[in-house]
């Protein structure tokens, strides 16, 4: 059985783990230009607030939330490492342009499985930020896998984030045919995130009989996000927005998209990565991909997305009030099923506009009965 919240013993164990991890990471010496996981010092120390306030129109503020970018890159220095390094550099240049700190893990810290380095590093950074005065913290961390290349550095990350009225949303991610893809995601600097990341790391210990496959951290996150304690604070967004894939046959995105990601390409990954790195390194070619946000579909589509989510939440609240006054009957049971269907659509299928609108329509029809 997968637990939604830790029991008291689990809470103690996870708290001790968190304290140990943070102490270990913070006590190490500082590195050079690029930070390691051991220093928690950003590679970039520019202003933590992006200078271009795109995306603020749906937040009711001209000041975008502060964001830091996070990744990891370590291992044998060979041709593949060099490609990863060049890919990470495109993210660093993007961050320089918008004033985002960048944290890059340069040393493995989890011995059992390298995949656990991601949630462990993110956990340490969340704790580090929460330990600061509130006005000195970044508000969000964006994880990016090192096998991704920024295509449109003009696009600020703030454009994707929830409006201020949805401060309960702490996690934004995308899906593919396997479910959650944790190659790119946003996580809010919030105590909820400590719960989520700690339970992600502890997941195999408390579910030893569960096969988590190869991407163990990703699968652990997937299981947790199917749990009501966590799913109420998470949303999926359309994958091409900030996690567009390169397939064997080509790119699923188009000019103006934020980035290209290379999961699942096996040995073909290197040629595809090399090709895109050459594109963004060519002054003439990269101009075709760098599109000002106002000339892309992002502003209208993202605003429409959050408007849809806002409408869905409002309808759920109205339906919950109606349920309180409905007597037990077949009609109430049917209406409750409609409401549960909409809740599931919001939590698990918000990346599919049709699924949310289908749930909305069903509940609204029930309200009109």
pLDDT digits (tens, 9 = 90+) for 238-249: 999 999 999 999
Residue 248 CB partners (closer than 8 Å, separation 6+):
265, 268
| Least confident window among 77-86, 123-132, 205-214, 294-303 | 205-214
- Tell me the C-alpha distance between 312 and 317, whole Å: 9
Of the two residues 166 and 43, the one the predictor is more confident about is 166
- Of 22-36, 142-156, 217-231, 256-270, the range with the lowest mean pLDDT is 22-36
d(CA 235, CA 345): 10
The Cα–Cα gap between 37 and 117 comes to 9
- Half-sphere exposure for 70 (CA within 13 Å, toward CB): 28
Residues 6+ apart with CB under 8 A from 323: 332, 335, 336, 339
pLDDT greater than 90 at residue 49: no
pLDDT at 308 over 60: yes
Q: What is the predicted pLDDT for the residue at 42?
A: 72
Query: DSSP E strands: which ranges in the chain?
Result: 67-72, 102-105, 140-144, 148-150, 171-176, 179-188, 234-236, 246-247, 250-251, 259-261
Residue 335 CA to residue 362 CA, distance in Å, equals: 9
pTM for the whole structure: 0.87
- What is the C-alpha to C-alpha distance for residues 220 and 201, in angstroms, rounded to an integer? 8
pLDDT, averaged across the chain: 86
Class of residue 28 by CB neighbours under 10 A (exposed 0-12, middle 13-18, buried 19+): middle
More confident position, 317 or 13:
317
- Helix and strand numbers, DSSP H then E, in the chain: 12, 10
Cβ-contact 174, 153 below 8 angstroms: no
Phi, psi of 120 (to 5 degrees): -65, -45
């Amino acid at each position: 059985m997968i637990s939604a919240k830790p029991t008291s013993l689990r809470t103690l164990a996870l708290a001790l783990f968190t304290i140990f991890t943070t102490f270990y990471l913070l006590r190490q010496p500082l590195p050079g230009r690029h930070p390691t996981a051991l220093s928690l010092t950003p590679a970039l120390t520019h202003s933590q607030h992006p200078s271009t306030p795109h995306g603020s129109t749906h937040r009711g503020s001209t000041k975008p939330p502060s964001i830091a970018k996070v990744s990891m890159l370590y291992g044998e220095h060979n041709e593949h490492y060099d490609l990863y390094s060049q890919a990470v550099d495109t993210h660093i240049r993007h961050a320089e342009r918008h004033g985002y700190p960048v944290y890059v893990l340069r040393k493995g810290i989890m011995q059992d499985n390298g995949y656990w380095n991601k949630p462990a590093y993110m956990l340490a950074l969340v704790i580090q930020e929460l330990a600061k005065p509130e006005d000195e913290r970044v508000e969000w961390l964006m994880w990016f896998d090192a096998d991704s290349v920024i295509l449109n550095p003009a696009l600020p990350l703030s454009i994707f984030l929830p409006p201020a009225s949805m401060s309960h949303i702490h996690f934004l991610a995308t899906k593919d045919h396997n479910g959650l893809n944790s190659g790119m995601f946003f996580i809010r600097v919030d105590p909820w995130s400590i719960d989520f990341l700690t339970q992600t790391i502890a997941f195999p210990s408390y579910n030893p009989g569960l096969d988590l496959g190869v991407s163990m951290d990703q699968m652990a996150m997937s299981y947790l996000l199917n749990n009501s304690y966590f799913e109420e604070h998470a949303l999926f967004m359309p994958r091409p927005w900030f996690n567009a894939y390169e397939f064997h046959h080509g790119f699923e995105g188009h000019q103006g998209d934020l980035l290209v990601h290379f999961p699942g390409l096996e040995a073909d990954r290197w040629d595809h990565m090399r090709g895109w790195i050459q594109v963004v390194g060519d002054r003439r070619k990269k101009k075709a991909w760098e599109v000002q946000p106002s000339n892309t579909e992002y502003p209208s589509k993202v605003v429409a997305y959050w408007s849809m989510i806002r409408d869905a939440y409002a309808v759920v609240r109205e339906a919950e009030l109606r349920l309180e006054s409905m007597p037990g009957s077949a009609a109430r049971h049917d209406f409750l099923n409609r409401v549960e269907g909409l809740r599931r659509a919001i939590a698990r299928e918000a990346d599919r506009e049709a699924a949310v609108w289908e749930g909305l329509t069903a509940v609204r029809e029930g309200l009109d009965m």
